[in-house]
Chains A and B, each alone.
Chain A
């Protein structure tokens, strides 16, 4: 009897033990790193956007597209050279949250699976990580735009 009771207890306590044994995550340190690197990437984006505005006659609004394309290019290049993953290891969310992280996930999936061929490897694995962003982004955008449009239709009529 008692043995069985103890068994149940250890089963229940197992998660707690796992949690205690797990190394504590240095949350504050990680947040500072994410803040510094994420902030720097956004500041770089601001500089690129200003270059497009001042030297290539883009407006503040139209400069957004070439700016993200440029950041994506830099990110893919750094991923290909193996540099981005080193920065990402240090910066955590600081490199994952900017649009560069989206490009990094696509480029690293493309590189990782190229040995399986260009169609089955590169083509079908490129969106392995980025796919969920697009699926949930598009679906939530659809619902939100639908609500907004219906509300304005009813309000307008």
Chain B
């Protein structure tokens, strides 16, 4: 059950970083999310993101920073097998589920719903 506590704390803190970028850094939401994705990719390149996931579970894998991590990890694992070309072929390997499900569900929503004020 301890993992639930840390998921809450770490996930919450990542969101606080985002909120500080919005409020104090005066970035737009799009810039804030982009900064966090790139930050996740850099942490992943330094081998620091997986330890955070081991420690905090969904607290590290649910925030958008894990998208950057997953892109790098997919590219690296494919590159290990097939060399430099693997970077391009492997980049979406891990993130496929997130992107394709978001496209499918969002499109289904546009078929079924009208925008609500």
Instruction: Give the size of the chain A interface in residues (CB under 8 angstroms).
Output: 75
Chain A nearest Cβ from B110, distance in angstroms: 4
Residues of A that sit less than 8 Å from B by CB: 25, 27, 30-31, 34-49, 64-69, 71-73, 76-77, 79-82, 85, 92-94, 96-103, 106-112, 114, 118, 122, 126, 129-130, 132-134, 136-138, 140-142, 144-149
Chain A residue nearest to B3 (CB atoms) is A46
Residues of B contacting A149 in the complex (Cβ-Cβ under 8 angstroms): 76, 79, 83-84, 86-87
| Cβ A46 vs Cβ B37 within 8 A | no
Chain A residue nearest to B99 (CB atoms) is A134
Interface residues on B, range: 35 or more
Residues of B contacting A27 in the complex (Cβ-Cβ under 8 angstroms): 19-20, 23-24
> With A68-B97, A130-B102, A138-B71 as given contacts, are A96 and B114 in contact (CB-CB < 8 Å)?
no
| Cβ B101 vs Cβ A42 within 8 A | no
Chain B residue nearest to A66 (CB atoms) is B97
Most buried by B among A85, A110, A112: A110
Residues of B contacting A46 in the complex (Cβ-Cβ under 8 angstroms): 3-4, 7, 57-59
Chain A residue nearest to B56 (CB atoms) is A42
Residues of A contacting B66 in the complex (Cβ-Cβ under 8 angstroms): 99
Contact of B33 among A68, A69, A102, A126 (CB under 8 A): A102
Decide yes or no whether B48 CB sits under 8 A from chain A.
no
Q: Tell me, in angstroms, the Cα distance from A71 to B75 when the chains sit together.
A: 24
Given A99-B66, A142-B75, 13 additional A-B pairs, CB 8 A: A35-B15, A38-B14, A43-B8, A43-B11, A49-B57, A72-B98, A93-B16, A111-B109, A122-B107, A129-B30, A133-B34, A134-B99, A141-B71
- Majority secondary structure, A binding face: helix
Chain B nearest Cβ from A37, distance in angstroms: 7
Q: Tell me, in angstroms, the Cα distance from A92 to B99 when the chains sit together.
A: 23
| Cβ B103 vs Cβ A106 within 8 A | yes
| Cβ A68 vs Cβ B12 within 8 A | no
Q: Tell me, in angstroms, the Cα distance from A149 to B72 when the chains sit together.
A: 11
Chain B nearest Cβ from A71, distance in angstroms: 7
Decide yes or no whether B38 CB sits under 8 A from chain A.
yes
> With A49-B58, A111-B115, A145-B76 as given contacts, are A39 and B11 in contact (CB-CB < 8 Å)?
yes
Residues of B contacting A147 in the complex (Cβ-Cβ under 8 angstroms): 45
| Cβ B87 vs Cβ A97 within 8 A | no
| Cβ B30 vs Cβ A35 within 8 A | no
Q: B90-117: contact bitstring with A at CB < 8 Å (1 yes, 0 no)?
A: 0110101111011101111110111111
